[in-house]
Amino acid sequence: MPFVPQRVFFEAESLDYPIAQKILDALKSNPRVSINMLKSKQRIKTMPGASWEEAYQAGKRTLVVGIRKTLNFQSCKPSAHYQLPLVTGCMGQCEYCYLNTQFGKNPYIRVYVNLEEILSQTASYIEQRKPDTTIFEGAATSDPVPVEPYTGSLAETVQFFARQEHGKFRFVTKYTDVDSLLNLNHQGKTTIRFSINADHIIRNYEHFTPGLPKRLLAAGKVAAAGYPLGFIIGPVILFDDWEAEYKRMFEALRDTLSSRKSDGISFEIISHRFTARAKNTIMNVYPSTTLPMDESQRKYKYGQFGYGKYVYQPEQIEGITSYFRQAIEEFFPGANVDYII
């Protein structure tokens, strides 16, 4: 599922970097792609007269090529020590996406071309924490895989971490274009995780993403290439017969990874939650959504970034925790459960 943007904006001075030139060369001859050069401090304007839905759809088809100016990495609990800012945004249109809280009406995909500076700062963070190992998350606010054919940033980063004695890298994706990563000398320092879910959730809420069988096929390739492998199951949404649907998901995963030892696989389980701002975006973009977003049925909780969110009630979280711990032990005995939240 290749990402072909309709609009590309090159920020001032970005074309001084090879990655930006590579992107321009790949897209400039496509008559369906609008190429735009931004002046210093010039902002991207929302389409005139665009509705919420139109602006959102346009944003999802817009690629911004820029320079990462701030090199202070944010924390990334519970999955890593720091976020590694290679990309922000995602081409997928998952109704529940937590990025709706951050990007709202204009969810542009932004790639950063000063990769050498970013990795140099990464090395500094690793040095500061030695002899402890420092873990970096490459998909905290993005899915970096769909833009990898244009940037090559993931491949460069994987090879960078292969040389780091005290650093590790991880990222998660719903997408399947991983072939360019399979033959890299990764030294086991990069964990590639796939975001998976019950078919009911993918079919109803994860628009413009590959189905579960394609994701599992890509996961099998990653496993065969010797990468540490993980899965994020989320958001876990409670719906009629949810246990049976998730069981079918685990069965398909087991069948795909039948030759892989369970003790080399990790799982992260994330229950459905939403913020007031995200709900506002969702209701404007997907007015007919069936996502369960009745605040009266939820518990209000503050998150690590200072804003509140609506989560399932404690007894529901207990049910989710119990089910997934038992299912993972049944289908993947010895696998590591990083967290269930």
Q: Please give the pLDDT value at position 309.
A: 92
Residue 302 banded pLDDT, cuts 50, 70, 90: confident
Select from 19, 24, 25, 26 the least CA-distant residue to 9. Answer: 24
Mean pLDDT, range 210-230, rounded to an integer: 95
Percent of the chain scored above 70 by pLDDT? 95
Q: In what order do the strands lie in the sheet with 7-10?
A: 34-37, 7-10, 62-66, 109-112, 87-88
Distance CA 50, CA 61 (A): 14
Q: What is the pLDDT of residues 305-338, one digit of tens each?
A: 567 899 999 999 999 999 999 999 999 998 999 9
Measure the CA–CA gap between 313 and 239, rounded to whole angstroms: 15
Pick the CATH number of 7-340 from 3.40.50.920, 3.40.50.300, 3.80.30.30, 3.40.50.980: 3.80.30.30
pLDDT at 169 exceeding the cut of 70: yes
Condensed to tens digits (0 to 9), the pLDDT of residues 254-296 reads: 998 876 666 679 999 999 999 988 898 899 889 999 999 999 9
pLDDT tens for residues 51-83? Answer: 888 888 889 999 999 999 999 999 988 889 999
Q: Which helix (H) or strand (E) holds 291?
A: none
The pLDDT of residue 128 is above 90 = yes
Looking at residue 330, its pLDDT comes to 95
* Model confidence band, residue 236 (pLDDT cutoffs 50, 70, 90): very high
Q: What is the pLDDT of residue 186?
A: 97
Q: What is the pLDDT of residues 111-123, one digit of tens each?
A: 999 999 999 999 9
- Average pLDDT for residues 190-205, to the nearest whole number? 97
More confident residue, 77 or 194: 194
Alpha carbons 107 and 90: distance in angstroms, whole number: 8
pLDDT of residue 104: 67
Which residue, chain included where needed, has tokens 């879910």? Answer: 197
As a whole number of angstroms, the distance between CA 290 and CA 253 comes to: 27
| Per-residue pLDDT at 79 | 81
Residue 219 in this model has a pLDDT that exceeds 70: yes
Q: Give the separation between CA 257 and CA 267, rounded to whole angstroms.
A: 14
Tokens 């274009």 map to which residue?
177
**Angle at CA of residue 12, ends 150 and 5, nearest 5°:** 35
The terminus-to-terminus CA distance of the chain in angstroms comes to 30
Contact 205/241 with Cβ under 8 angstroms?
Answer: no
Backbone torsions φ then ψ of 295, nearest 5 degrees: -60, -30
Q: Residue 145: pLDDT band by 50, 70, 90 thresholds?
A: very high
Quick one: tokens of 151? 């940037």
| Token output for 318 | 């207990």
Measured torsion, CA atoms of residues 64, 172, 124, 148, in degrees rounded to the nearest 10? -40
pLDDT of residue 261: 67
